[in-house]
Structure 1
């Protein structure tokens, strides 16, 4: 199964929603956890339906801050247990029902003086038996080697995080591609980057899923990078999606669209009747437009992937000297 976690810093920006859509299309996560959505329930619900998620939980914003959102593809995949402004707890089960474990989607308090409250909250989730996994933005590092630049982290705050991990018998699941998940993007000596987002789990979870990876994805439209947890699970069924043709109004502004329609419409009808000929031309136009739009989307996706690869390379070696180039 695949889980995407991202502190998106607001889903009101169309570019942020577009990047989220690209991640969902490319990574195909069954579960998506979003923090700091800054959206009302109604707007968040629309986004979940836009990306064809069947299940979801929305924690409303408080004023203009916060907001959590959890979406999952199959309605029976997750079972909601409880939630707050800083977490969403769900029970995860595979289709056979043989593996059931607790998933805590967690958002550590951004104010350091109040972070102990969310540590106490996280500790209270520890199950008596069974697997337990936690993913999200913890707003804290475990050790000072998870931070570069700026003032050193408080040893007291880091120790509190480590104590919560020890009490919960939780282990860090590591990282791939980029160690750091947050940057202030400053272009001077105040440049700072930290590993604030991660996935952790107990021994029972790791024994269930010994093959797992946590990938740090490029940070776009937010100062946080999305993280992508991928672990092996047997899936016994598949669902076939049927795509119906729909003419997009935006195609009118694309180069080549009118030529595709004109070429299809100029084709001779042969010995068909007027009605048969009309239907044949409409089908031909639909087929040609579908092929043209796939090629258009493929070219755009390749261009986006190339830019994303360049950005990823920059962010792995980012510092104050190349922060402007990253922007």
Structure 2
């Protein structure tokens, strides 16, 4: 099955954001990734794309008024054809090289105002009429919630927008894929106590998709460089891998270590306690990886220290012999 992820990265100009994308692709062996809100100028696009995933194909529509969505894929494994473009979505067909399998993917980046969102809802309804017995996956940042339980914190009256989103889901015949991980996909990172969290990002699929892959679900990961969580499609046992948790004791002395651990460990996770612990350990991996990079090549540093110690001991022995 296609290993894919959707993520509102909130900017891709910064080095740490680019590293986070590469780490996500590497950890989950992704074939396809949709990145939203990259904030990259057209003149910088090629350089950044080459720096993030140099061997992958990229698509972004700088000719249109939207150009907020980037799509990247491993063209050694799949082909991607863009079928429809809109300011709030990109609709494409994905074909697997080794398997005679074709799926449809719509990457969504919804507007944050009600009137413009209506254009997205109607666009998805129109797309549903063009889908003919093909598996269809719709995912991304919808900038809307389906019910009041998907909001935590102070907010205004969103019932009208919520009803319109639900009506769109009903008319398209889309179904919510099961989700594990973070309860909310976006938080406002407030430091003044006015915390606001929402489930703005999600994956939906049609009944053909559900019939073909009934065990498919997606994981809402702990946010790192963005205020949105990455969404990673899962559920195909052929792609499951065992990954050991590694911790180097010296990392505990790094600046900001305890703060990072505290921040990740206090995120609410939906699922069993064991799943919650596993998910938080995975989130800590990126913290440890970054701190290891700051320390440089540890093996080389140990070798240099050992060489220095050997030289120092030889010099000390010569000094002792000369004084005898």
For normalisation by structure 2, the TM-score amounts to 0.70
Structure 2: stretches of 5+ with no match in the other structure: 240-245, 270-324
Pairwise mapping of residues 28-67 of structure 1 onto structure 2 (< 5 A)? 28-50=29-51, 51-60=53-62, 67=68
Aligned to 1:211: 215
Q: Say which of 98, 102, 105 aligns to 1:103.
A: 105
Aligned to 2:225: 221
Aligned to 1:166: 170
In structure 1, the residue corresponding to 2:167 is in which secondary structure?
A: helix
Deviations 1:36-84 (A, max 9, x none): 1111345333333332443221133989x86210000125432221223
Contact 1:2 1:231 in 2 (8 A): no
Aligned to 1:79: 81
Aligned to 1:138: 142
Contact 2:178 2:216 in 1 (8 A): no
**Is 2:44 the counterpart of 1:9?**
no
CA gap 1:38/1:219 in 2 versus in 1, 3 angstroms: same
Aligned-CA RMSD value: 3.0
**Is 2:236 the counterpart of 1:232?**
yes
Deviations 1:101-143 (A, max 9, x none): 2100111112233211111122221113321110100000000
CA gap 1:194/1:66 in 2 versus in 1, 3 angstroms: farther
In structure 1, the residue corresponding to 2:75 is in which secondary structure?
A: coil
CA gap 1:69/1:307 in 2 versus in 1, 3 angstroms: farther
Q: Distance between the aligned counterparts of 2:262 and 2:85, measured in 1?
A: 38
The Cα shift of 1:225 comes to 1.1
Question: What count of residue pairs does the alignment treat as equivalent?
Answer: 254
Pairwise mapping of residues 172-321 of structure 1 onto structure 2 (< 5 A)? 172-232=176-236, 311-316=263-268
Contact 1:56 1:69 in 2 (8 A): yes
Aligned to 2:71: 70
Contact 1:130 1:204 in 2 (8 A): yes
Q: Distance between the aligned counterparts of 1:191 and 1:232, measured in 2?
A: 36
Contact 1:53 1:71 in 2 (8 A): no
The Cα shift of 1:307 comes to 8.3
CA gap 1:315/1:146 in 2 versus in 1, 3 angstroms: same
Deviations 1:192-215 (A, max 9, x none): 100000100011011121221211
Structure 1: stretches of 5+ with no match in the other structure: 236-296, 318-327
CA gap 1:184/1:148 in 2 versus in 1, 3 angstroms: same
Aligned to 2:278: none
Greater displacement, 197-206 / 216-225: 216-225
Q: Distance between the aligned counterparts of 1:143 and 1:92, measured in 2?
A: 32
Aligned to 2:276: none
In structure 1, the residue corresponding to 2:10 is in which secondary structure?
A: coil
